[in-house]
Amino acid sequence: MELRREIISMDPNTDPAPQGDGYTSDSITVLEGLEAVRIRPAMYIGSTGPQGLHHLVYEVVDNSIDEALAGYCDNILVTLHQDGSCAVEDNGRGIPTEPHSKFPDKSAAEIVMTVLHAGGKFDKGSYKVSGGLHGVGVSCVNALSEWVKLDIWRNGSHHTQRFTRGAPTTKLQADGETEKRGTRVQFMPDDQIFKETTTFTREILARRLQELAFLNPGLKITLRDERDDVTEEFQYEGGIRSFVEHLNQARSGLHKEVVFVSGERDDVIAEVALQWTSAYSSTILSFVNNINTIDGGTHVSGFKAALTRTVNGYAAEKGLLKSNKNETISGDDIREGLTCVVSVKVPEPQFEGQTKGKLGNSEVKGLVEGIVAERLADFLNEHPRMAKSVIQKAVEASRAREAARRARDLARRKSALEGSDLPGKLADCQEKDPTKCELYLVEGDSAGGSAKQGRDRRYQAILPLRGKILNVEKARFDKMLANEEIRTIISALGAGIGPEFNAEKLRYHRLIIMTDADVDGSHIRTLLLTFFFRQMPELVKGGHLYIAQPPLYKVKRGKSERYLKDDTQLEEFLLERGLRSLVLQDGTGAQINNEMLGGQLDLLRRYTRRLDAVSRRFVPEVMDAWYGLGGLTAPYDDAQALQAMSEGLGSALESLAPNLHLTAVEVLPPEADGTHRLEVLTLRDGSERRTILGPLPPESVAFGELVTELTNKLPLPVVLAGSGQQICGWRQLLQVVLQGARKGYEIQRYKGLGEMNADQLWETTMDPSRRTLVKVQVENPAQADEIFSVLMGDAVNPRRNFIQNNALNVRNLDV
């Protein structure tokens, strides 16, 4: 499950902007080449936030996966480099390097990298099945990258080519002979596009790569993170059987063996792995040519039909439905506790929509249904004990569902007699159009009272929640409906629950969770997310669920006060004010003031971001001090000169970080190219770190240009006027500006909604013209299902392991 931050303005009384008279033929803009991708990147990769950033990697990996599907690749290496770039390498056939017949002045490889809808996926002879049908993948990556380096090993030759923001900067060049084969694409995300972050998260990539390894038995996918010196390998001979075992590691299985059925008909290959557990929710993950079809499709419909028909047929034949010979079990009851992976390979898949979320090939339904029905019937007959336990669980689920239905009917009759089916504590809105209405689920009566007073009652409804709702991960349907708070939420939304949920009946098209920022608030938010993900998944898929973002800070000076939503906004606020009073002196005594320094802020931020990206392995203060001393152009080929230059590193570090102790600096023996490197050992809080300083690698050209530009515009060291403090690094300068700006300001960090009165809550969190909401989306269903099972399920060990593995990453721990 992904949380995406958005500014949501939903005032129904806001009129559209008036149409002007300047719309002429000259207003029509024709975008050529990859220009359209850079102007509208979200159309191609979903967003320019973390989701879109990691999508770049997936696009390149998918090309390698297609080579594996074609039988030419069995090894994929994904590397996260220290400079922030990412490389994807495979041992496939390699992109063709010969000139293209229609474009004789360009190689086929260059066309693939620079032209949309160009690739081998359209040639039926090159790929029997493929996920990348639109041919925009790697060219989009090229367009949205600061630079790309392409390596191709093919037909005994090694070829290379470089690109900058989508445009080739060199021709495809031969670079010696080789017996190696394959393709390597290394790219640096462009911070002009990805302004929120350009730092890859290893955990996010690992989950997707692991998923691909499950779907392709025998394929080895390696993720190497040079920033942390961590390597993970994913290879599963068991395929999707291993996938189901992995998904159920936090659940108790009703049977030990994972059921696996497979078959091929009319060139369509179908594989299904399934296992029933003691859980009350079901998980069905579906894939077409390795593409995660999050909305299912004909292959899932075929599986469900076969499962229901086969299990009911077996139960009737064996007399396991004793109460009534004509009794049948519904598909929902049979699927209770089921974990299943459906994977099909289709030569020409037809997806509904650009997102490829749903398969539309009508013939696939019958093919999958026939394969599953035949193979599953044989399996049930061969394993009667397992079959009996599955049917018993389904019968219990059916009885619980019937009890829940009677409870609902009784509740409906009572509501009809009382004349209203809305909960009494709901403060409803005046607007009747659901598309204009929003409902706030607020933690506690106190915050709910403030929200009721501060809201715009025309279209904002408030539902206070008392305490914590039931953990639905551990509760059966009938017990869940017995929980008062859950019944209140269901009643307020008016769209039903589970299989009966109907999004068209929603009374509010925006459901906003508003809880405190403390531990209890996080727990309540997680319980609510679990409920909606398990019982109202269509609510999440439809984009109706949001999380309110109360401001994190209030900055006050005298009678003036301002609310800031997060650390980034606080930094921008402090930078703006810190520059007003900042005066520096260079080595000649000349002053550097706000006017001269203001233009360098963007450079300082970009530089700091690059250093922070490698801070998990290297010490950024060491690198900052070294570059400030001229380390970019240091004499790395002269050991003595390099040693002499490094002698100033200690005093520079003392100024940059007084709590960082330099313990040793050593010039290492020369590398194969004759250059030396510095090994720097530092000690902070009892922890020793090792940083290697040397010439920038060729792929770090952009970072080198950034350092050079900073060197020319802001030579170091400088002195802070008035205090005499010496500043030896640009990263240090940014921190000095931030610290100086804090003087005179009272900065309050909010913890919960109870610290705000009604007008403050409206002004900061509920006013559509100023608020920020986080939209809840499911990007990876398998990952979301796994995390809910681990955090909210019965199994203790997986939850303990999760806490232990993530404890060191916790910030602002509330104890």
- Print burial letters for 137-163: b (CB count within 10 Å at least 16), e (below 16): bbbbbbbbbbbbbbbbbbeeebbbbbb
Q: How far apart are CA 491 and CA 495, in angstroms?
A: 8
Active-site hit among 516, 699, 779, 786: 516
CA distance to 8, 563, 578, 607, 778, per residue, from 573 (Å): 22, 10, 9, 19, 33
DSSP for 521-542, written as a single string:
HHHHHHHHHHHHHHH-HHHHHT
Active-site hit among 175, 232, 332, 520: 520
In the annotation, is 516 catalytic?
yes
Active-site hit among 203, 229, 518, 637: 518
Mark residue 616 as left, alpha or beta (left: phi above 0; alpha: psi -120 to 50; beta: remaining): alpha
Q: How far apart are CA 506 and CA 428, in angstroms?
A: 14
Contacts 24+ apart (CB under 8 A), 724-728: 725/655, 726/655, 727/584, 727/655, 728/624, 728/625, 728/628, 728/629, 728/651, 728/652, 728/655, 728/656
With beta carbons less than 8 A apart as the criterion, state whether 6 and 792 touch.
Answer: no
Q: How far apart are CA 243 and CA 786, in angstroms?
A: 11
Tell me, what amino acid is at 547? I
Q: How far apart are CA 512 and CA 160, in angstroms?
A: 51
Active-site hit among 151, 191, 333, 443: 443
**Both tokens assigned to 10:** 């939903």
- Print burial letters for 708-747: b (CB count within 10 Å at least 16), e (below 16): eebbeebebbbbbeeeeebbbbbbbbbebbbebbeeebee
**How many CB atoms within 10 Å of residue 456?**
18
Q: 688 exposed, middle or buried (CB, 10 Å; 0-12, 13-18, 19+)?
A: exposed
Look at residues 553, 639, 610, 597 and name the one whose alpha carbon lies nearest to residue 727.
Answer: 597
In the annotation, is 518 catalytic?
yes
**Coil, helix or strand for 287?**
strand
Q: How far apart are CA 135 and CA 115, in angstroms?
A: 9
With beta carbons less than 8 A apart as the criterion, state whether 173 and 97 touch.
Answer: no
Q: Strands of 584-585's sheet, edge to edge?
A: 591-592, 584-585, 718-720, 725-727
Mark residue 786 as left, alpha or beta (left: phi above 0; alpha: psi -120 to 50; beta: remaining): alpha
Residues 6+ apart with CB under 8 A from 15: none
DSSP for 564-586, written as a single string:
E-SHHHHHHHHHHHHHHH--EE-
Q: How far apart are CA 330 and CA 239, in angstroms?
A: 30
**Coil, helix or strand for 442?**
strand
In the annotation, is 520 catalytic?
yes
**Coil, helix or strand for 713?**
helix
Q: Which residues are catalytic?
A: 443, 516, 518, 520
